[in-house]
Amino acid sequence: MQNRKEHLKGSGMLALCAMIWGVAFVAQSAGMEHVGPCTFNAVRNFIACIALLPVLFLSRRLKKPGEGDVPAPENKKLLLGGGVLCGLFLCAASLLQQVGIQYTTAGKAGFLTALYIVIVPLLGIFLGRLPGVKVWLGVVLSLLGVYLLSVKEGFSVSGGDALVIACAVLFSFHILVVDKISPRVDGVMLSWIQFFVSAVLSLVFALIWEKPRLPSIFAAWLPLLYTGVLSSGVGYTLQILGQRKASPTVASLILSLESVFAALAGWALKNEALAPKELLGCCLVFAAVVLAQLPSRKKTG
């Protein structure tokens, strides 16, 4: 029963993460009107680092000796190495997504990014994790739902689409790395390290390929603040903490709710109507997530 409660707690964190990411899509689009993708990612990740500092301070102050994450010496290398690896995957995936969005439609970008729903369990097979029939059914339902929800025009693959597909592959690796490392290290510190690595790399790329200007950055202050504090700082930290209690495949299914929340945010904030096809897509994704949460039947006899 305790394990079941912990699993549901982790699933709730991942669902909240998906909601934050879904609403953030509007902010990302608005921010790109003022700054380039490298500059946008650099600033949002530096903001995330700053936002997590008080959380790190309070967690250290409130934690009793021997309680919670164990900062054992043997785990320090794992924390640092894992944080750098997560930061590399996060930086590369985010930049590919930001650049790819400029050359494809938002709907196709959302669907192609969600391909991690399929990529994660496929990669998991090579790591010795074979999902059950129930989870595979959830994967199919979720993928179909995201397609109905996101793709509003004829489907073909362009150069921008290829960048977003590559982004989905890198996000899949990010999910698997988080799954492997997060149970053994301080989750908030792991999140902070990955943001710092991603911020520094994005800043280097921005200085090489773009010309960051303070007036442009200040013009995008609201999207940067939302994506920095909530989408990055809160969202990715919830992902790391939530994945401690859920398998990578189930986590990817729950995170696919991002596309549903993005559509609902567009309806609520921008008065974008939802067609019957899109409503069906929302229902299929929700059904897939519920299916993945159902307890497995125990064998008797």
Taking residues 141-165, report their average pLDDT.
75
pTM of the complete model: 0.82
Asked if pLDDT for residue 155 goes beyond 80, the answer is no
Q: State in Å, rounded, how far the first CA of the chain is from the last one.
A: 21
Fill in the amino acid letter for 150: S
Asked if pLDDT for residue 253 goes beyond 80, the answer is yes
Average pLDDT, the chain: 82
Whole-number CA gyration radius for the chain = 19
Q: What is the pLDDT of residues 262-294, one digit of tens each?
A: 777 777 776 767 778 878 888 888 888 777 766
Q: Percentage of the chain surpassing pLDDT 90? A: 33
Contact at 8 Å (CB) between 163 and 110?
no
Q: What does the H/E/C string look like for the chain?
A: CHHHHHHHHHHHHHHHHHHHHHHHHHHHHHHCCCCCHHHHHHHHHHHHHHHHHHHHHHHHHHCCCCCCCCCCHHHHHHHHHHHHHHHHHHHHHHHHHHHHHCCCCHHHHHHHHCCHHHHHHHHHHHCCCCCCHHHHHHHHHHHHHHHHHHCCCCCCCCHHHHHHHHHHHHHHHHHHHHHHHHHHCCHHHHHHHHHHHHHHHHHHHHHHHCCCCHHHHHHCHHHHHHHHHHHHHHHHHHHHHHCCCCCHHHHHHHHCHHHHHHHHHHHHHHCCCCCHHHHHHHHHHHHHHHHHHCCCCCCCC
pLDDT at 44: 94
Longest Cα separation, the chain? 70
Bigger pLDDT: 190 vs 131: 190
Residue 110 to residue 24: CA distance in whole angstroms: 12
Asked if pLDDT for residue 224 goes beyond 90, the answer is yes
User: Which position has the token pair 């494809």?
Assistant: 104
pLDDT at 203: 96
pLDDT at 301: 39
Q: What is the pLDDT of residues 4-63, one digit of tens each?
A: 778 788 888 999 998 898 887 777 777 888 999 999 999 999 999 999 999 888 877 766
Residue 175 to residue 34: CA distance in whole angstroms: 30
pLDDT at 300: 39
Bigger pLDDT: 3 vs 124: 124
pLDDT band at 161 (very low <50, low <70, confident <90, very high): confident
Fill in the amino acid letter for 61: R
